Structures are given as structure tokens and as C-alpha cells.
Amino acid sequence: MEKLQLTASDIQKNTGGICEPFEMNIRDPEMVSKAFDQIQKKFGKDPDVLVNNAAGNFIMATERLSANAYGTIIDIVLKGTMNVTTELGRRCIKNKAGAAITSITANYARAGGPFVIPSAISKAGVETMTKSLATEWSKYGLRFNAVSPGPIPTKGAFGRLFTGEMGDAEDLIRTRNPAGRSGTPEEVANLVAFVSSDHMSFLNGVIIDLDGGQQHMHHGSHMGEFLHEMDQKAWDETENLIRGRTGKEKL
């Protein structure tokens, strides 16, 4: 909760707005429901905008994944997103209140994601949820869209997806993206804000790629063909590196 409070403080300082953090484990439906109760109590209403940004991912040869490793990612990204989305949806339906739900996905949800199978499965499920609920719940004033970003360099994400340093990862991306660069968090935030706003009230059931055109190259992947050439020793080194960065004893 301390990190959330620090982040909220920075947001308020930089924007002059109000940012109130609420803690929940999205894998636990009961905790999700309690968090929505707290939001309702604090603001007197349920949210009218929801951004599903749950993430969990790392590169690994699929045959080396434990059931716990891929189960955890699916629980966070797919089940967690479903838990939060359906909790808000039920409340909106009951109270006859509309809302915009925008989910963050990935281009490998459609193109396929070798070496990131658990995330690819989960993000594909989120995109299917988006399109399905866009038709089922539109009559309740709920609309569902998704933004599918290309590579956005952050320490948390890239530390699990690349074995090298941040600068090396960004150099690799520049050579594999038509735009010759990676995206920025601000670009994603701007698009999500626009898609979620009343200016786009007729937009529903759409997956928007924000990747500099990368989905039209290399099957949408920014991971690099070199992963197919890694031997067991290289994967051992990769696994140890990711463990060190994530603090996990095993994947």
C-alpha cells in the first residue's frame, strides 16, 4: 500500500487532481468486491471508467514452466481482469449506470507469443472478453474496448522480458519496429483516456494497436528470433537472471 500512496501523491502533485489508492488482490473476488465497496463509500458511486492493466509476464521456454508459474500469470491477467470487470458490471447493471471499460492487451494475443505463452493465452482471453461483453452488456450502457501497445520500456516489464540491459533492449526494438523506436507510457495513457472518454461513446468492441506498425512485421513479435536458437545453458542463465530480478526462487 505504501507504493500506491507514494504514486498517488506524485499524481496529485503533478496534476493537481485527486488520486485515492485502494488495495486489492484482483485474484480474490471477495477482496475485489470489498474494494468496490470502499470506493462507493468514499465517492458515493461506483466508477464510470475502468482500466484493466493487470500484468504478469516473463520470457521462458514453455517446457521449463511449472504449473504454478503459468497458473499465477493466468490468475492475475485473465481471471483477475474478469473478476474486476464483472464486479463493476454487476453493480452498473443493478444501479442502471453506464461505464467505459478499457483493457490493456498485447499484439501477441492475436499473433501468438512464443516464450510468453501464459501471457499470450491470458491477453487473448481478455480480448475475447472485451468483444463478447461489448455485445452482451452494451444494452446496459456499458462499453468495452482494448488498447494493445507495442513495446513500452519500463524496468518492471523489460526486466522480465529481456536478458540484457534496458539500453540493449531498446536498441533491439529500434531495429524491429517500423517507427524506429519504442512507445512511451504517456502515449498509451493518452489513448486510453481518449477511448474511455465521452468523446468516444460510440466506440465499442474494438482492439486498437498502438505499436508503430509492428503488428505488420515479424508476426507482431518484438522478442527476437534469437530466442529460438538458445540452448539449455542459455535458458538456465536466463532463468537465474529473471529469478534475481523478480525475487522468485523458481518460475
Active-site residue list:
108
Number of C-beta neighbours around residue 35 at 10 A: 18
Question: Cα-Cα-Cα-Cα dihedral of 172, 162, 118, 247, to 10°?
Answer: -160
Nearest alpha-carbon partner for 82 in 101, 98, 67, 65: 101
Residues 6+ apart with CB under 8 A from 200: 145, 194
Residue 17 φ/ψ region, left for φ over 0, alpha for ψ in the -120 to 50 degree band, beta for the rest:
beta
C-alpha angle 13-16-21 in degrees, rounded to nearest 5: 70
Nearest alpha-carbon partner for 104 in 188, 7, 219, 201: 188
Nearest alpha-carbon partner for 189 in 152, 155, 160: 152
**Length of the chain in terms of residues written:** 251
The CA–CA distances, whole Å, from 99 to 10, 70, 87, 131 equal 26, 31, 12, 15
Task: Classify residue 62 by burial, with Cβ atoms within 10 Å: 0-12, 13-18, 19+.
Answer: exposed
